[in-house]
Chain A
Amino acid sequence: MDWSAIVLSLRLATLTTVILLVGGLPLAGWLALSHQRGRWAVDALVALPVVLPPTVLGFYVLVALGPRSPLGRAYEAITGSPIVFSFQGLLVASVLYSLPFAVQPFAAAFAAVDRNLIETAWCLGASRVRTFTRIVVPLARPGIIAGMVLSFAHTLGEFGVVLMVGGNLPGSTRTISISIYDDVQAFDYARAGRTAALLLAFSFVVLAMTYRLQRRSGRAWPIGS
């Protein structure tokens, strides 16, 4: 088994989930609770990775972060190494690619919170931020967990984007799915099978545990929004 690829994938998925949690909660809160004009455009933008082929997304990320782009040059000037074909570049692409899988369940859960509770909190003097952190987020917990699980699992299984942005560098950008692909190309079906089975078992256990958690908290969350 390609342990370095497994560890790399787990690290990538964990970091992606954490970033999406920190950035996705406020974004989802804005999408679900504000009534500002132009919201539909942001909604569509967030949902794009669901319909876009990973190679297209990967291509744009590659161009945007490449050594000839202002972003890529700025990164290289600060850190001394290019961002494409590195773990950091892969992380940026993963966050974008999994964005809807975190933000959409978050937003759906926020929108389902009883509006009366939110208004009651305002009338009790709680600011909008305090109302969000103390009332909306705790009540939306099942949806938040669902979003985290989905983005974790989605990152674990990504292939096209990784290939475009990260390439295939062992230890820094070679993830589980790339490793399985490589093994199959090299006719090492036994090794590919072991890694694939591990991924399958892991995904099933995580999803089963999440569903069980939702069931127990009294609210079944339809995963896959």
Chain B
Amino acid sequence: MADRLIAAFLRQHAPSVSIRADLELEAGDNRVMVLFGASGSGKTTILRCLAGLDRPQEGFIRFGDEVWFDRTAGVNLSPQQRRLAYVSQDYSLFPHLTVDENIRFGMDAAGLPARDRVDSILRTVHLEGMAGRFPTRLSGGERQRVALARALARDPRLILLDEPLAALDLPLRDPMRRELRQFLRSIDVPSVVVTHDRVDALTLGDRMAVLSGGYIRQVGPVHDVFSRPIDWEVAASVGVETVVPGEIVESADGLATVRVGASQVRVALPSMMARSVFACIRAEDVTLETSPHGDVSARNQLRGRVTAVQPEGGVVRVTVDCGFLLSALITRPACDELRLAENSAVTAVVKATAVHLIAREIS
């Protein structure tokens, strides 16, 4: 595989702080990797090491058959030699150059033919007619597009984005997030996206790596990492939540029906109409019962079997297989009263308003 990134390195931050990274990423179906962690967890450091802006103390970084960094062999390619796209948090547009000159800056250095390509790139990011503007006259969203266009113009082999949505105003973040996902899926180049935002991670990523305490604790498909954190530190970092991929099969009267695994979930008023979604249910919002009793307002009563009962401090985390794996957080007395154990039959009750949908593709 030509475009495969393999990195295993350590960067000493301060005498007592070191960041260890272990990553593998390639083009293809799982090309967008989210690097997730709280601020200060070292996400940006890893990104800078990949870009060649920081030098690790140990380890190696390889891309395809090239060695970008190897401590023992004494190899450290400059950012110029790695041919990648690095977009920093504030987009770093050159303030004294127009949009056109900004985009051409990278192309001139690479010696690529210019004019036609600038036009076609501006079309890709919906910025036709803005070529002559200076960055100060652009909105936040437009700035992000110019930064992406400029990075793309160099025909990069790897895309690195540092908190791509953090600089945007809240109302703008949602549409830009989906636009960015579409952008990253439209080109077959592996990308690493750094974020501390759960919605960013779910919307943008195919796979995610959770960084905590200086190293990567878990790597896997995004919904998997959110639903099944391997330890409490990952759970605390991503939040306890069931995240499952699903498809909207019907929507009427402000209520959508989403097929999730082997069962169906009803969701109140989804704000966006996309077929392919992630259904997110917080473990605190799930009620468990053993004997069904008449009418309830909750729209979802999912029958299933308990697959795991894990005490977590004062509460108990119960995993129920109801066509998909659902996490419920209940109190210890409640768990004792219902006599929950592995394999006992339960009904999970979830209000339609407690299910949140996150769109994956724009229809």
Contact = CB atoms under 8 A, between A and B. Distances in A.
B86 interface: yes
B109 A124 contact: yes
Contacts of A138: 96
Given A120-B88, A134-B105, A125 B110 contact: yes
A123 B96 contact: no
Interface stretch (B75-83, B126-134, B261-269): B75-83
Given A124-B150, A124-B154, A139-B96, A116 B84 contact: no
B83 A125 contact: yes
Interface residues of A, number: 17
Contacts of B106: 124-126
Interface in B72-118: 78-80, 83-86, 88, 90, 92, 94-96, 105-106, 109-110
A5 B109 CA distance: 49
Given A123-B85, A125-B154, A117 B94 contact: yes
Contacts of A127: 80, 109
A121 interface: yes
Contacts of B90: 116
Per DSSP, are chain A's interface residues mostly helix, strand or loop, or mixed?
A: helix
A135 interface: yes
Nearest to B80: A125
A199 B52 CA distance: 53
B243 to A, nearest CB: 33
B51 interface: yes
B272 interface: no
A134 B97 CA distance: 10
A185 to B, nearest CB: 52
A121 B86 contact: no
B273 interface: no
B53 interface: yes
A3 interface: no
Q: Which of A116, A117, A124 has the most CB of B within 10 A?
A: A124
A122 B92 CA distance: 12
Contacts of A123: 51-53, 79-80, 84-86, 151
Contacts of B110: 125
A126 B78 contact: no
A188 interface: no
A127 B150 CA distance: 17
Nearest to B89: A116
A119 interface: yes
A122 B78 contact: yes
A39 interface: no
A119 to B, nearest CB: 5
Interface in A99-145: 114, 116-117, 119-127, 130, 134-135, 138-139
A175 B52 CA distance: 53
A125 B110 CA distance: 7
Contact of B105 (A119, A124, A139): A124
A120 B153 CA distance: 14
Q: Which of A121, A123, A127 has the most CB of B within 10 A?
A: A123
A140 to B, nearest CB: 10
A126 B94 contact: no
A127 B154 CA distance: 14
A119 B80 contact: no
Contact of B92 (A114, A125, A126): A114
Given A123-B80, A126-B80, 20 more contacts: A114-B92, A116-B88, A116-B90, A119-B92, A120-B86, A120-B94, A123-B52, A123-B53, A123-B79, A124-B105, A124-B109, A124-B150, A125-B80, A125-B110, A126-B105, A126-B109, A127-B80, A130-B109, A135-B94, A138-B96
20 contacts: A114-B92, A117-B92, A117-B94, A120-B94, A121-B94, A123-B85, A123-B86, A123-B151, A124-B106, A124-B109, A124-B150, A124-B151, A124-B154, A125-B80, A125-B83, A125-B109, A125-B154, A126-B106, A127-B80, A134-B105
| List of 7 A-B pairs having minimum Cβ-Cβ separation, nearest first | A124-B106, A125-B109, A123-B86, A120-B92, A122-B79, A116-B92, A123-B79
Interface of A: 114, 116-117, 119-127, 130, 134-135, 138-139
